[in-house]
Amino acid sequence: MPTNKDLKRLVRARMQKTGQAYTTARSHLLTQSPAPAPAPADYAKLAGMSDATIKAKTGYTWERWVKALDRVGAHGWPHREIARYVHEKYEVPGWWTQSVTVGYELIKGLRSVGQRRGAGFEANKSKTFAAPLARLYRAWSEARMRARWLPGVKLTIRTATRNKSMRVTWPDGTSVHLYFGDKAPGKSHLAVQHVKLANQASQARMKAYWAERLAALGEVLGAGPKPRG
């Protein structure tokens, strides 16, 4: 069961969402039972990520994540609430918080592959670059540098945490979530999550688009700063 602090937060969230009284919302959360789950041996395949990878990055296998999240009734929570719980309770970094949340939702049948719960489809792409983290981040945050590899795109940066994450509104109104991280010395990593896409065709198109643009970004980072004058 969640701690008293966790439970009170979840009760308040449910009250806001449903208009239920505190007692009713609390009773609902405490009496929920997990939906039937597939065999633990199938979890990694359903989640699209191996047990070895998720354990190395988060400390838990898929079986342990499913047990931990089922125990607090996470199968009945919205995506954002699951992600917040994983991040706050287990101190999992941003990108891996999303990986755990999406994997859990796939295992529980709450979403299809490539589909974002309640908000269309999403395209994901990631790449490791031979450049320091700060320079990779500037390639997004500084308009002049961004134009070298992402020309003609009038995007809006909504929120940003330096060298960690960024949320961007794309020109068509869709949203791009960015997660930055260190790799080895002199190397960095970027994960792109393009959400609110209308259909699978848009998903496939944007996945190919980001593969191309991240390759272009790699060339710019590899070329070093652009000469002035």
Predicted pLDDT at 89: 94
Is residue 192 within 8 A of residue 165, CB to CB? The reply is no
Instruction: Say how far apart CA 44 and CA 189 lie, in whole Å.
Output: 23
Specify if 132 maps to a domain. yes
Our count of domains for the chain comes to: 2
Specify if 179 maps to a domain. yes
Which of the residue ranges 35-39, 65-69, 108-112 would you say has the lowest mean pLDDT? 35-39
Select from 59, 74, 107 the last residue of a domain.
107
178 SS3 class: strand
Select from 107, 131, 163 the last residue of a domain.
107
CATH number of the structural domain spanning residue 126: 3.30.530.20
Specify if 56 maps to a domain. yes
Is residue 83 within 8 A of residue 97, CB to CB? The reply is yes
Mean pLDDT, to the nearest integer, of 168-180?
94
Select from 44, 76, 107 the last residue of a domain.
107
Mean pLDDT, to the nearest integer, of 76-82?
88
Specify if 91 maps to a domain. yes
Specify if 92 maps to a domain. yes
Mean pLDDT, to the nearest integer, of 202-224?
92
Residues 130 and 201 both lie in one domain: yes
* Phi, psi of 61, deg, nearest 5: -80, 170
What does pLDDT average to over the chain? 86
Residues 96 and 149 both lie in one domain: no
Residues 84 and 128 both lie in one domain: no
Predicted pLDDT at 211: 96
Residues 209 and 135 both lie in one domain: yes
Specify if 96 maps to a domain. yes
Give the count of alpha carbons within 13 A of 92, CB side only: 23
Structural domain for 50, as ranges = 32-107
Mean pLDDT, to the nearest integer, of 28-35?
60
71 SS3 class: helix
- Find the DSSP H helices in the chain: 4-18, 22-31, 43-47, 51-58, 62-71, 79-90, 94-107, 133-141, 143-146, 200-223
Mean pLDDT, to the nearest integer, of 182-202?
89
Mean pLDDT, to the nearest integer, of 139-165?
96
Specify if 9 maps to a domain. no
Specify if 3 maps to a domain. no
Residues 126 and 211 both lie in one domain: yes
Q: Retrieve residue 33's tokens.
A: 């039972």
Residue 24 has pLDDT above 80, yes or no: no
Q: Retrieve residue 223's tokens.
A: 């070329």
Residues 95 and 148 both lie in one domain: no
Residues 206 and 126 both lie in one domain: yes
pLDDT tens string 120-137: 788 889 999 999 999 999
pTM: 0.56
pLDDT tens string 94-127: 789 989 998 998 898 887 665 655 557 888 899 9
Mean pLDDT, to the nearest integer, of 44-67?
94
Residue 65 has pLDDT above 70, yes or no: yes
Residues 75 and 132 both lie in one domain: no
Mean pLDDT, to the nearest integer, of 187-202?
90
Residues 193 and 159 both lie in one domain: yes
